[in-house]
């Protein structure tokens, strides 16, 4: 089991590492531990999932996946990677409504941080969760679903409420998409571009006023964008979002039709996602404030550009999960892939956060952020409810971590 996260910027502080092979073994481990956290695939960029006690991987639990065609759900072990689940679902005629930019991440880890893809009418990945099974601090096994009290508080749980062992996800009939990359979008056409297809990502570098690339993932039966679409030009070869990197790592473009799971992520399973040498930050803002928020960031573009690999703009539909960054508001997600140099990047993160402050930014829970705890608390209407739930489910602070204590003091 790795001793660092994927990016290598977090070396875990755990004293012991565990890989239980049954839920009963896990229950005994949690009940007997003073401090415990779970790691999924370690693709987060901060210490939220770290511990000074026992760090547990669930990758050794039995890999049984259960599809329920009548209920249109699939129940999966927590450590299942989206890429593996997606291939299995597609073979059986099903799909998930959305995926993140990479298929390498675990379902439980992604859901715990409110991980998302893009799509004006599609929620983040946690909104597909219809049920959870978790081991709570005293080793009990708790099963909850959408009808359970406080369920909406437990899904994006930051790993703070218990060890999730299984998740039940909504599925839809499988579908095909085509991906087109368009170049040089005028800023004023951003909204139209983001609303133009099933899932759209816009990439930029903060060096020019125009937005560098639009990755349009559209239903395969929809007509391709016309030659003069929104003032852009068509990419004549496949692209990687980070300038200069090989498109071999990326999903098929140029309008070639393919199944949902081979088009929604930008990166292919089995290949390095993104640049591999990086830090990431992301802020969810009310979609209605998009133009104003981007104008505010223009003022620090000269700070952003030198430490940036690429910036991505996506949409996420509103939901009702208490700690979801999209709770109660349709969102614009502004993502930064930074260079892998924390000393150079952190002052820029602070400058970005200062500019975004008037828009009540909600940080991606799994990425680098420095927002003051009071600002985070104020951005979440259900913050106090989550803190109460945390105290009730984990009275001894078994799942405590320093960042968790900073943002949710007991």
Ligand X SMILES: Cc1cc2nc3c(=O)[nH]c(=O)nc-3n(C[C@H](O)[C@H](O)[C@H](O)COP(=O)(O)OP(=O)(O)OC[C@H]3O[C@@H](n4cnc5c(N)ncnc54)[C@H](O)[C@@H]3O)c2cc1C
- Residue 74 sits in the site that holds ligand X (CB under 6 A): no
Angstrom distance (rounded) from CA 59 to CA 62: 8
- Residue 42 sits in the site that holds ligand X (CB under 6 A): yes
Q: Where are the alpha helices (DSSP H) in 305-407?
A: 342-356, 373-379, 383-393, 402-407
Which x/- pattern, by CB under 6 A, does the window 125-164 give for ligand X? ---------------------------------xx---xx
Q: Which of 20, 26, 29, 43 binds ligand X (CB under 6 A)?
A: 43
Q: Where are the beta strands (DSSP E) in 278-358?
A: 279-286, 308-316, 331-338
Q: Which stretch binds ligand X (CB under 6 A): 14-22, 34-42, 66-74, 369-377?
A: 34-42
Which pair of structure tokens corresponds to residue 279?
A: 């830090």
Q: Which of 61, 89, 96, 105 binds ligand X (CB under 6 A)?
A: 105
152 or 163: whose CB is closer to ligand X? 163
CA angle 333, 335, 131 (to 5 degrees): 55
Q: Where are the beta strands (DSSP E) in 73-188?
A: 73-77, 94-95, 129-135, 141-145, 163-170, 172-173, 176-185
Instruction: Provide, rounded to whole angstroms, the least separation between the CB of residue 84 and ligand X.
Output: 12
Which pair of structure tokens corresponds to residue 219?
A: 């239903």
Instruction: Provide, rounded to whole angstroms, the least separation between the CB of residue 236 and ligand X.
Output: 26
Q: Which of 61, 110, 269, 352 binds ligand X (CB under 6 A)?
A: 110
Footprint on residues 328-387 left by ligand X (CB under 6 A)? 364, 366
Angle at which helices 342-356 and 290-298 cross, to 10° = 130
Q: Any idea which residue has 């989206």 for tokens?
A: 82
- Residue 40 sits in the site that holds ligand X (CB under 6 A): yes
97 or 163: whose CB is closer to ligand X? 163
What does residue 40 show for φ and ψ, rounded to 5 degrees? -90, -110
Q: Which of 33, 41, 232, 251 binds ligand X (CB under 6 A)?
A: 41
DSSP state of 38: E
The residues binding ligand X (CB under 6 A) are: 6, 37-44, 48-49, 58, 78, 100-102, 105-106, 108-110, 112-113, 115-116, 158-159, 163-164, 273-274, 280, 364, 366
């Amino acid at each position: 089991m790795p001793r660092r996260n994927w990016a290598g910027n977090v070396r875990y502080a755990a004293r012991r590492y565990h890989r239980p092979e049954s839920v009963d073994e896990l229950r005994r481990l949690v009940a007997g531990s003073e401090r415990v956290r779970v790691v999924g695939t370690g693709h987060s960029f901060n210490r939220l999932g770290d511990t000074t006690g026992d760090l547990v991987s669930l990758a050794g639990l039995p890999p049984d996946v259960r599809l329920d065609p009548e209920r249109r759900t699939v129940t999966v072990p927590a450590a299942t990677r989206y890429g593996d689940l997606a291939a299995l679902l597609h073979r059986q005629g099903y799909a998930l409504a959305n995926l993140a930019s990479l298929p390498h991440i675990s379902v439980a880890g992604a859901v715990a941080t409110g991980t998302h893809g893009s799509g004006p009418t599609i929620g983040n990945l946690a909104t597909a969760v219809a049920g959870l099974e978790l081991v709570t601090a005293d080793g009990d096994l708790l099963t909850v679903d959408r009808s359970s009290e406080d369920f909406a508080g437990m899904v994006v749980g930051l790993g703070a409420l218990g060890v999730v062992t299984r998740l039940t996800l909504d599925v839809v009939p499988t579908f095909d998409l085509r991906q087109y990359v368009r170049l040089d979008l005028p800023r004023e056409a951003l909204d139209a571009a983001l609303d133009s297809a099933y899932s759209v990502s816009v990439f930029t570098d903060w060096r020019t006023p125009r937005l560098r690339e639009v990755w349009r993932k559209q239903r395969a039966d929809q007509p391709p964008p016309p030659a003069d679409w929104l003032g852009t030009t068509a990419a004549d070869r496949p692209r990687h979002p980070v300038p200069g990197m090989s498109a071999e790592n990326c999903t098929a473009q140029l309008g070639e039709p393919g199944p949902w799971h081979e088009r929604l992520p930008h990166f292919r399973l089995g290949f390095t996602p993104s640049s591999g040498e990086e830090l990431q930050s992301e802020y969810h803002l009310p979609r209605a404030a998009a133009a104003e928020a981007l104008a505010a960031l223009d003022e620090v573009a000269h700070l952003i550009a030198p430490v940036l690999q690429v910036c991505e703009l996506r949409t996420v539909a509103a939901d009702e999960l208490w700690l979801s960054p999209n709770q109660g508001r349709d969102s614009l997600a502004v993502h930064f892939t930074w260079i892998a140099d924390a000393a150079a990047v952190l002052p820029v993160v602070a400058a970005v956060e200062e500019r975004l402050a008037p828009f009540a930014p909600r940080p991606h829970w799994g990425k680098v952020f420095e927002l003051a705890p009071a600002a985070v608390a104020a951005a979440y209407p259900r913050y106090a409810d989550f803190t109460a739930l945390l105290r009730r489910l984990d009275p001894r602070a078994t799942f405590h971590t320093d960042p968790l204590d900073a943002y949710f003091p007991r």
